[in-house]
Amino acid sequence: MKKLIFLFSSLICCLFSWGYAQTGVSVSPPRLYFESDLGNSNTQKVTVTNVSAKNSLDLAISLGDWEYDEKGENMTYGANTRPTSCASWVSVKKEDNYFTLAPGEKKDIDITITAPTTLSDHLSAHTAVLYVSQMNPVDDVDSKGAHIKVSIRSGIKLFHKLPVTKSKKIEIQNLAYGKSKNRLDLFFENQGDVWVDGKVYTDLVNMQNGKKTVLDPVIFYTMPGNKREMNIPLSSTLEKGKYTASVMIDYGDSNNLELGELNFTYE
């Protein structure tokens, strides 16, 4: 008996998603950023590639919504169900709604976002997700040798903003030491009117001997209004003592920095 398995690629996958050895599809880029005024259109291109060695892929285009949860994970929804949705603004050419790619073949798809002449909300940034879905599951074999059916769906995040959008502002709400879980808990909010991406840098200074520990930076992504909780793990090999933790959120140039500081005892 064959098992039927559907593999879904991550929405933030950098360049491609793989099924098993024989089936795969690459969609690039994984994000598209649009800017146009009300009533105007903007068109950008994605490239879809069948990276399979021997299987032709029947592929279909569809739309949906997404948003980040408080941890920064992607949550997906049906099209036109989120307050920030612009799925109804998105269009592709009729011949690109459904197409077939031979092994190794690629196809460029024009994606157009046409902003309405008036908005039903007061938001200046909107989002959607465009899916490229395989419609013909193919035979394959899993790592244990069992026969399976493989189908792949890859998503491209779509961002749209109005030209008047310009306010980027991240504000730290709290920084705490989570002793039971051996971590720092950082809480911050996107208080601007556009998406903000960046990195969080954390330094620890032992106040007893002056030794400095630099933690690996953490990448984050936010949309306007997002309240984020970021958990920054501390190494189990960190020397015991009293520390000052300095956290810097870098989301642009030198004018876009948010700083926080915390004194705590690591026992």
Per-residue pLDDT at 23: 63
Average pLDDT on 130-134 reads: 96
CB 86 within 8 A of CB 64: no
Taking residues 78-86, report their average pLDDT.
Answer: 97
**pLDDT digits 0-9 by tens, 90-111:** 999 999 999 999 999 999 999 9
Q: Enumerate the β-bridge partners of residue 57.
A: 101
What was the pLDDT predicted at 1? 36
Q: Give mean pLDDT, residues 63-78.
A: 97
pLDDT tens track for 205-261:
999 999 999 999 999 999 999 999 999 999 989 999 999 999 999 998 777 899 999
| Integer angstrom CA distances of residue 15 from 3, 92, 107, 136, 162 | 28, 21, 15, 22, 27
How far apart CA 132 and CA 109 sit, in angstroms, is 11
Measured at the CA of 112, the angle between CA 157 and CA 82, to 5 degrees, comes to 45
Provide mean pLDDT across the span 24-35. 94
| The 24-28 sheet, strands edge to edge | 16-18, 24-28, 41-50, 106-114, 90-92
| Predicted model pTM | 0.84
Determine phi and psi for 179, rounding to 5 degrees.
-60, -45
Name the CA radius of gyration of the chain, rounded: 22
Q: Which domains does the chain have, with CATH numbers?
A: 3-161 (2.60.40.10), 170-266 (2.60.40.2360)
